[in-house]
Structure 1
């Protein structure tokens, strides 16, 4: 408020000094309050509202009403005029429920005497309503913030895709150049072979011509010698005996001349050209040059069914599901760590069968195929594979001894898993279906995690691993190809546990302390959250068609298993 420090009261608490006069070191008693200027004013200063046009719409109230304004609305963001009757310049004191109108004391007497329900505002509880409005605005701000984050993500991805487009064109150019270079090499090789063959043929013909010339020159020398030194008889005999040979030589020369006077060399590369055009067209047709991505909306969840997990007759302890996953047909597989067994639920969360594992302390489960699941162990270095039939029968098919202890498990591809570690320098590793163990070629914090403090999942569509570090209140997302990573911290992410990949490759995280399901977008920001009706949610699974989500918890005596439909 403007200059409220200069306001002075007397012993009765009724007298106020004019604030404009006080700034001029003049003490004069205020007789009014301007709700627009937010000042107590004397008669002379208040008259300025009648003189200056820009002050004509200011509301002038009494000093007592001004004191209420100052004490109850000492905030720059509050418009005090909303509490004043514009007709009578008096504070609102009543509320007419019939007309949904606020009334000053004069309005109540003059205009609403016949109204049946008029209540004193002072007796009304407005705080709870304001609190509700505030919460609605907070939620709206959060939603708008999420939209802003989506826009930021879209802007970033657009820039990245533009840069990627340049690389894509360069790669395309390199591939086209390689096709042309391969075509050039093929043509030149073919031409070289044709040239060598043709050259050999030309050389043979040339030798044939030279041999004929040499033979005819020899005959000419014989004729010259006989003509110069021979007797007429010798000349006549020579002429008669060589007549046929000369005529044959001339005939052969004429024939050879006719044969070689027009040499046609025709080397065609039509087949190679067709292949080149086909390869070029195939390369161009297989390539797409577009920038297209979809920014998904936050997911919505509809509860299908929720059940309480009770100890059965053959259980030695209260059940505790540390791992769950969906079979391809929609059935749910759960691992009960406390009782060392696997269970199968149908789509209505009815138990169809259970299987006692040969060793205790199974941890998490991943569905491998239509009829097989893999189960990790916390206190044994092993990975168990179970066969699961359509009739819900289960049996142990094989076991691999591991070099490290593994907790959560997620399918990476058809032949590999991504597993989180227990007391190992690498937070997650790559394990094959045949039991081979390898580290990823990326930098991760050299920190060991205890049981139940390290979860991971693989995002197939983006070749990324998401890690949930419970004790750190952090989520890590690692890019396997580039090695880059992002770290996510948020007030909603407290004691994060299991993670799963949902629609549009969004990441779902269950958080124990906030009792909620948090959805993370590709950029790592919180896209949405859903409050869960259970304490200490711990395990999560998403169906293969991304339409169902299951959650279980670790609360003592109140363990639950809930099934949601993802909208």
Structure 2
């Protein structure tokens, strides 16, 4: 092995360490943000309690928030120091990479060989230090305890606060675990002349599952054990579905410019309430907020749009790739708490993450992400994507970091739904002769 090959290997190690350490800074930023959110949530909780017991609660609120503020400042300072340490490490490694690039492009073979030998230990130590930072980060837990304050408060209001907890406990995000519950095969029957293919899935708030059978033009209701409770024949080819409320769903059409709103009774009766005429064809649909949906388009200049509950259509004020998507190649969802839109591009093997407020975007292009299709928001605002060609579900942070891949009991998983409480995940596929609907618990 000559000096250039050695330098190239060292450079690759450093570049990998730089990328990994950049991901660490994302986790530190997320910890800082979530700590602030938890402190704000605590303040809101205290204010709500204050309305019931004004005078006593005023004293308690002041004590709790003072303690939380001191702890928050101390913890944020510690997170900031860790981030500075990461950034210093990155700059140092980048400097070494530039030195190696320069030697590789202009240095003689002898000088390249000498440089490799001279820098071998330095690079080894730099990578070792980066690994050490990662190991230290994996052990970070943020605990803000208010036990003493709560005990004092309970002594005054024992009849009101019997088991109230005022602890903030936050660990840096780790991959979820999927626990298999049940799977059913989707086959043609006397009621279904075609082999069913579920292109749309959505959970109602009570965890009943709504499925759209694209092949037999049906909307079906399943219970939590994947037993069919009812089905409704539609007069067109349906594509996708979203739960609007406790008793209402909305369905997109494959060949029609329309959205259909259906009522779902407690006894699983389905009836069409109203139809909204659209100016474009829409495929996937999910709730953006209480008043609007985000929809993926078919053969349209914009890959996704906003549609209100009343049927008004509008655009996002963000820059997107100039591309028209054929049906089934473009899916999207929305992370409400973060104002983030996530879009999958099946043919390009890419996932686009758009921050609507800041205008920033991230493109995820990873070896685990191949032919990405359906996408849904899970715990910690992580998104789960059906990666058809790798036969798994990929879990990604809101910042675009690929956390994990989850194997499922089917080939080419495409369509995903996650329950409102983030505890259940449903997935289906489109493989002819081997179509399934499966249910998992999220831990």
TM-score with structure 1 setting the length? 0.51
| Cα deviations by residue, 1:137-184 (Å, 9 ceiling, x for unpaired) | xxxxxxx9998676332244478899x99xxxxxxxxxxxxxxxxxxx
**1:314 match: secondary structure:** coil
1:351 aligns with 2:228: yes
Mapping for residues 152-551 of structure 1, pairs under 5 Å: 152-157=25-30, 290=72, 291=76, 294-357=171-234, 359-551=235-427
| Cα deviations by residue, 1:229-266 (Å, 9 ceiling, x for unpaired) | xxxxxxxxxxxxxxxxxxxxxxxxxxxxxxxxxxxxxx
Cα 1:554–1:303, aligned 2, differ >3 Å: closer, same or farther?
A: same
Hey, what does 1:193 align to over in structure 2?
none
| Cα deviations by residue, 1:296-351 (Å, 9 ceiling, x for unpaired) | 11100110001101223122311110000111111100000111110011111011
Cα 1:150–1:434, aligned 2, differ >3 Å: closer, same or farther?
A: same
Aligned residues: 307
**1:461 match: secondary structure:** helix
Counterpart-to-counterpart distance in 2, 1:371 and 1:468:
29
Cα 1:156–1:336, aligned 2, differ >3 Å: closer, same or farther?
A: same
Hey, what does 1:59 align to over in structure 2?
none
Counterpart-to-counterpart distance in 1, 2:32 and 2:414:
37
**2:320 match: secondary structure:** coil
Counterpart-to-counterpart distance in 2, 1:558 and 1:145:
43
| Cα deviations by residue, 1:422-444 (Å, 9 ceiling, x for unpaired) | 01111111100000000011111
Structure 1 ranges of 4+ moved more than 3 A? 144-150, 155-162, 288-294
TM-score with structure 2 setting the length? 0.65
**By percentage of residues, which structure has more strand?**
2
Across the aligned residues of Structure 1 and Structure 2, the Cα RMSD in angstroms comes to 2.8
**1:513 match: secondary structure:** helix
**1:564 match: secondary structure:** strand
C-alpha deviation, 1:525, in angstroms? 1.5
C-alpha deviation, 1:523, in angstroms? 2.2
Counterpart-to-counterpart distance in 2, 1:464 and 1:294:
22
Q: Which structure 2 segments of 5+ residues have no match? A: 2-16, 38-60, 77-141, 143-169
Higher Rg: 1
**1:151 match: secondary structure:** helix
Mapping for residues 16-27 of structure 1, pairs under 5 Å: none
Counterpart-to-counterpart distance in 1, 2:174 and 2:353:
20
C-alpha deviation, 1:521, in angstroms? 1.4
Matched-pair contact (CA < 8 Å) for 1:494–1:511: yes
Matched-pair contact (CA < 8 Å) for 1:149–1:525: no
Matched-pair contact (CA < 8 Å) for 1:146–1:527: no
Counterpart-to-counterpart distance in 1, 2:299 and 2:178:
35
Counterpart-to-counterpart distance in 1, 2:213 and 2:19:
37
- The one of 15, 24, 28 equivalent to 1:151 is 24
Counterpart-to-counterpart distance in 2, 1:454 and 1:531:
22
Counterpart-to-counterpart distance in 1, 2:398 and 2:293:
22
Q: Which structure 1 segments of 5+ residues have no match? A: 2-143, 166-280
C-alpha deviation, 1:361, in angstroms? 1.1
Q: Which has the higher contact order (CA 8 A, sep 6+)?
A: 2
